[in-house]
Amino acid sequence: MNFIRVTKRDDLPVRMEVIIRLVAIVLSLIAAGIVILVFGVDPVRIFKSIIEGSLGTTLRIQQTVVKAVPLIITSLGIMVAFKMKFWNIGAEGQITMGALAATWVALFMSDSMPLFAKLLLMALASMVAGGLWAFIPAFFKAKMGTNETIFTLMMNYIAIKFVTYLQYGPWKDPNSNGFPKIAPFPENAILPSLFGVHIGWIIAIICAILIYLFMTHTKKGYEIAVVGESTETARYAGMDIGKIIIIAMFVSGGLCGLVGMIQASAIEKTLVSGIANGYGFTAIITAWLAKLNPVIIIVVCLAFSMLIQGGAYIQIAMNVPSAVSSIVQGIILFFIMGAEFFLQYKVGFRHNEAKEVA
Amino acid sequence: MKKVLAILLALVMVFAFAACGSTPAEDDGAADAAELTVGFIFIGAINDGGYTQAHYDGMKAMEDYFGGKVATKYLENVNDSDKQASLDAARNLIDQGCNVIVGCSYGFMDALDELANSGDYDDVKFLHFSGNKMNDKNFGNFFGAIEQPRYLSGMVAGSMTKSNKLGYVGAFPYTEVQIGINAFTLGAQSVNPDAEVKVVYINSWGDPEAEKAAAEQLLAEGCDIIAQHSDSTGPQLAAQDAGAYAIGYNYNNPVAADAYLTAPIWHHEKFLIPTIESILAGKWTPESYYGSMSEGYVDLAPMTDLVPADVQDKVNAVKEKMVSGEFEPFSGKIEYADGSILCEDGQTLDRGQIWAIDKLVKGAVGVN
Amino acid sequence: MQNQAIETKENNIAIEMKGISKSFGALKANNNVNLTVFDGEVHALLGENGAGKSTLMNMLSGIYTPDEGTIAIHGRSVSFSSPKDSIKLGIGMIHQHFKLVDVMTAKENIIIGQPTDFVIKGKALTKKVKELSDRYGLDIDPDKKVYEMSVGEKQTLEIIKVLFRGARILIMDEPTAVLTPQEIKKLFGVIRNMKAQGCAVVIITHKMNEVMEISDRVTVLRKGESIETVVKNEVDIPKLIEMMVGKKVDLAIHKESFPKSEPLLKMDGVTVLDAEGKSALSDINFDLYPNEIVGVAGVANSGQKELCESIAGLVKADKGRIFFEGENIVGKTPRDIIVLGIRMGFIPEDRLGMGLVGGMDIVHNLILKDYQNQPGIRLRRGPCIEKAKKIVEQLDIMTPSIYTPVKRLSGGNIQKVLLGREIDSAPKVLITAYPVRGLDIGASYKIYDLLNEQKKNGVGVLFVGEDLDVLMDLCDRIIVLCHGEITGIVNPSEVTKEDIGLLMTGHRLEQEEE
């Protein structure tokens, strides 16, 4: 530790920022290339294939978009909480509870209801459920100062296990020969498609616009940002911090809940315990990489989905083991996240007589 | 810093040359020449030594048989409880030129069903293993009478147990699994009326750790032979560690050589080859295939030397009767554990009746 | 006598720093700085905030390594790569923030990190500590736990710690900032003892009076460069300030008196309890009138924070009443105060942590006090953009634009943004806590002028300060706090600094109140 010293950067010229990011991308490609070579495949072809596989045809673009939708909306939800420095890592649970509420509407309310009425009801139910699931840790944080990180994390398991219980117990589909699954949604509970992708993509764009407006053009959004910067300042300015935390978390959880509804209605067409599928955690990365900016979130999530879709493509096209595409994704991510570290901190080496490197 | 950069640059150049040097496009040619490209979706890794490897070997055998006329592509480690992943896998395979999609796990069923009936893929044929959904234009399913070799493996276990307690690691309390447990129990009781079967469900098709833990629980309860309906070799290894015997599943894989007795196994090529042949010939129509021991689609792996010769003889005798169609596991009077009747005296259950089984027979107890 | 000491040791150069430069990124913290310190001398290092004093001393204590230049200790050229090297050569630094372990005793703190035997030889250690204390006139109980110590005692312990490690060269970074006048006197006694023993002492400070009192020679730094080294007896304060600031500064604080009218703010038996239920503020009674500046003096953490926050509504008074123009405002939250239009401004001690949002620009910091009164849910920036432009212009705030995050601004400009916002709301009562802390002299006097201007406009100003000279020059009355109680309300023209010092430590004066 004596040789390395890490100090926080305050102000970095834009030019340096760009250079660091570019270096990170180049390094990630080199490192990934080494791994690919070890597996005996041509790295250049792999990288070309990843782009081709994610954007090459209409279908591939659709596939990329489908993957980006839940990621975008979850990232938006997480962003609202993170802006407040409320570390909501409970998006998984909020997605699951949202899906649960949507499923309840889908399965137990009239099958003859018009499509959009039912979908609207499902969306509302999912947002309320996700919001309530986030409200619980927010309430305890606001009133008793509990640690939200552990609280929200634990709430994930409760939600997921509760759905497992329903799946194996009361909601088990009697027509599944005993296989523990919940009955499929009726026709009027399934999200329609537009341009080959379910309309979740439109919802994602609307959400991004709304959240952008909420965060930058409303008093609540401003309050959330102030609380995130300094609770003392918020107190000084007469803000009701507890209430702000609760409202922000309700919005955050509500968005995540909506993801649950979209995934259950458009993809699974039923409820499964794995509905959240890790989006709640991946979205932490994407929200962070996007610097908590709703517009950049869309870009980052699309890039992330390209990586996943491209990874699936190379597996088939080049016959590489699934582990290889996972490693490539991991390496690229590692370097890009690593760059963020160097953007925020500077690292110097010191030797006995050498000067400190700034 | 500069030094590091220099080294990195050098590396980049080396790789650039390496990249230029290698010749691409050799495996592209194969797919182009083929008349048919079959895409497989696997739940596990192709070298898992169990369920997925059995499917993979079937795929390879089929590919070899057609010698270039048929190309294959596959995706491994696709999560079958994640429908998005299942849909993506199928779509990506089709996108890359597959005309036939084979989904090798129960959980892929809804995804394949959705695609087959979507109207977007009418020229693609979907084959699904172990499901019950199909349509009459492009979606069929296939499975086999694995209850036959299960019955035989039950005989082996029943003959060799000392504690009369047989352990069974089950996936889900679902019909397919329950059929297997019942057949195994009936086989064991046919040679040892005192034998009872304890089942622990892991609520997953495959999870090496959970499978191992379930096996350990069963061993702790006094079971001295462990059978399984799950994808990995975890239960066999657990049995070996405890000095007990194990009966595998899916694939003849004696990794736990000190414990491994035999296994009910699949020969998927027995289905794939004729089916692909009829697709090539343009004569295929969706069917619900149910292969038996007579066709060799299911079989009992050769019993190892751990099984005494007299037991082997006894088992082989019954096996012959099964192959010839003289004997079926679900025949004669069979009672459920709750006292209700599964099969009347003199009756033999047909496929529909077998697939209506929803609980365990007398002598088998399951815990979730 | 002091001069003699220097002359006899003239040739014994303790520290010689030549041509020292040090940059942090684009910032040149030190540029070609020269410093020579003799044995047996007290050397003051004088300069405004950001002049490079601390950077220079951190290089001497091995925390930083200079980019250019040489350091020689007792004639030997050295190069430090860590504080350890510097300690070995007998250099000891007393930081502004003490580096002590609270739960340990003085003795334990002294030997921490020292290569000792496995078993701590308690008695021998006590003896050695005692020896050191006697030699330098330091007063310490070796078995007292740090958390039970006063600030002065902690500082004494820090000094013993470095002496124990064999320090012959002592560097003190603003050692008087946290001390009462009495403690300062004691400290200066110790410093004189060390000097008599032949130690070299470097004091970093920006307080003129102290420079004149204790030092033999003064080196003035300005904007990272060493301006001049002078013998103290040959200069006066205005000259030093001119060297420090780079130009002549008018340091007069003009105090005007106004006739008294009805009080704006009336504190009536206000008591505030802390989290443990002990009173942080007890039975506070005073009035604040228009056209006056009332100072609040006291050792750090004597209840100043609670006093300000209870008036501003941030903490609720547990007992007593606070009248604002006759209306009891106890129980009103800051939001109530804003929404009800109670015209009160508050400059909290922690500017970026409480008064402002560091990551936000000037406009958004102005919105902080404005948005509560905006109708609807939409956030309106327009009025605050105008206001921001106005404040930047009026208070002469140096900023690239009104959209620059305030944490990027210098301390003085940050304070001006805060003060500008609070003054803009035309307050009747203005509460300011340490408004010049960390500001350079020019900026400080600008703040004093602004406060005086407010006073002239009829505002009642509560000024919590730490520099008694400033308090006495600026304020019409001074409230002295000790342990949350008012130990006296005095008229600066009738008392001495020492009197206030006594009050600060809990001694009441003979003639109670004014």
Domain positions in chain C: 2-245, 262-343+426-509, 357-425
What phi-psi label fits residue C206: left (phi over 0), alpha (psi between -120 and 50 degrees) or beta?
alpha
Beta-carbon separation of A236 and C65 below 8 A: no
Give dist(CA B168, CA B201) in Å, integer.
8
- Residue reference for tokens 């044929």: B125
d(CA B39, CA C177): 77
Using the CB atoms, write b or e for C451-464: b if 16+ within 10 Å: bbebbeeebbbbbb
Q: ∠ at Cα C305 (C300, C306), nearest 5°?
A: 125
Identify the H or E element spanning A314: helix A294-317
The shortest C-alpha distance from A341 to chain C (Å) reads: 18
Q: Does A177 touch chain B (CB under 8 A)?
A: yes
CA distance A304 to A50: 12
Angle CA A324–B268–B306, to nearest 5: 95
Q: What is the mean pLDDT of residues B292-302?
A: 91
Span B285-313, mean pLDDT?
91
What CA dihedral angle connects B116, B120, B124 and B126, to 10 degrees? -10
Report phi then psi at C28, rounded to 5: -95, 100
- Name the residue ranges covered by the structural domains of chain B: 35-144+268-291, 147-263+301-367
CA proximity to B155, closest of B316, B301, B338: B316
Token duo for residue A311: 């990874």
A239 touches chain C (CB under 8 A): yes
Residue A122 pLDDT grade (very low, low, confident, very high; cuts 50, 70, 90): very high
Residue B14 has pLDDT above 60, yes or no: no
Domain B35-144+268-291 adopts which CATH fold? Rossmann fold (3.40.50)
Cα–Cα distance list, C168 to A166, C6, C202 (Å): 76, 16, 11
Q: Which CATH number fits domain C262-343+426-509: 3.40.50.300, 3.30.930.10, 3.30.70.270, 3.30.70.1450?
A: 3.40.50.300
Residue B71 token pair: 């190309």
Task: Please tell me if residue C68 touches chain A, with a CB cutoff of 8 Å.
Answer: no
Tell me if chain A has a CB within 8 Å of the CB of B360: no
* pLDDT score recorded for residue B105: 92
Question: What homologous superfamily does CATH list for B147-263+301-367?
Answer: Response regulator (3.40.50.2300)
| Statement: residue A258 has pLDDT above 90 | yes
State how far the Cα of B223 lies from the Cα of B178, in Å rounded to an integer: 19
* A177 to B73: CB separation less than 8 angstroms, yes or no: no
Residue of chain A minimizing CA distance to C338: A238
Residue C233: CB atoms within 10 A of its CB come to 11
Q: Do A225 and C360 touch (CB under 8 A)?
A: yes
Phi, psi for residue C293 in degrees, rounded to 5: -115, 120
Q: Please give the CATH architecture assigned to the domain spanning C2-245.
A: 3-Layer(aba) Sandwich (3.40)
Rounded Cα distance, A167 and A151, in Å: 25
Question: Maximum CA pair distance of chain C?
Answer: 78
Residue A218 CA to chain centroid, in angstroms?
Answer: 24
Mean pLDDT, chain C, as a whole number? 82
| A350 neighbourhood in chain C, CB within 8 Å | 65, 81
| Band (B249; pLDDT cuts 50, 70, 90) | very high
A&C contacts, CB < 8 Å: 82
Residue type, A308: I
Burial-class residue A170 by CB neighbours within 10 Å (0-12, 13-18, 19+).
exposed
Q: How far is B226 from chain A (nearest CA, A)?
A: 23
**How many beta carbons lie within 10 A of that of residue C4, not counting itself?**
8
Distance from the A141 Cα atom to the nearest Cα atom in chain C, whole angstroms:
18
- For strand C217-222 and strand C225-231, is the pairing parallel, antiparallel, or unpaired? antiparallel
Asked if domains B35-144+268-291 and B147-263+301-367 share a fold, the reply is yes
ipTM of predicted complex = 0.77
Per-residue pLDDT of chain C (514 residues; tens, 9 = 90+): 444 444 444 558 888 888 888 887 667 788 888 889 988 899 998 887 777 888 888 888 888 888 888 888 888 888 887 788 888 888 888 887 778 888 888 888 887 766 655 555 667 777 777 887 888 777 788 788 888 887 788 888 888 888 888 888 889 888 887 777 788 888 888 888 888 888 899 998 877 788 888 889 999 888 888 888 888 888 888 888 888 877 766 666 777 777 777 888 888 888 988 877 788 888 888 989 888 999 998 887 788 888 998 998 888 888 888 888 888 888 888 888 887 778 888 988 888 888 888 888 888 988 888 888 788 888 888 888 988 888 888 888 877 888 888 887 777 788 888 888 888 888 889 999 988 877 777 778 888 888 888 888 889 999 998 888 888 888 999 999 888 888 888 888 888 888 888 888 877 765 544 4
Query: How far is the alpha carbon of A348 from chain C, nearest alpha carbon, in Å?
Result: 12
Percentage of chain B beyond pLDDT 70 is 91
Q: Which residues of C touch A225 (CB under 8 A)?
A: 357, 360
The answer to whether A287 faces chain C, any CB pair under 8 Å, is no
Chains touching chain A, criterion 3+ CB pairs below 8 Å: B, C
Which residue in B111, B117, B116 sits closest to B84, CA to CA?
Answer: B111
Q: Do the first three CATH levels of C2-245 and C262-343+426-509 match, i.e. the same topology?
A: yes
Could you read off the pLDDT of A188-240 as tens digits, one per residue?
888 888 887 888 899 999 999 999 999 999 989 999 999 998 888 888 888 88
Q: How many helices (H) and strands (E) does chain B have?
A: 12, 16
| Alpha-carbon gap: B355 to the closest alpha carbon of chain A (Å) | 8
Choose the closest CB to B82 out of A37, A270, A274.
A274
Does A180 lie at the interface with B, CB-CB under 8 angstroms?
A: yes
β pairing state of B165-170 and B196-201 = parallel
Bridge-partner residues for C225, per DSSP? Answer: C222
The pLDDT tens digits for C312-351 are 888 888 888 888 888 888 888 888 888 777 888 898 888 8
Q: Is B71 helix (H, G, I), strand (E, B) or coil?
A: strand
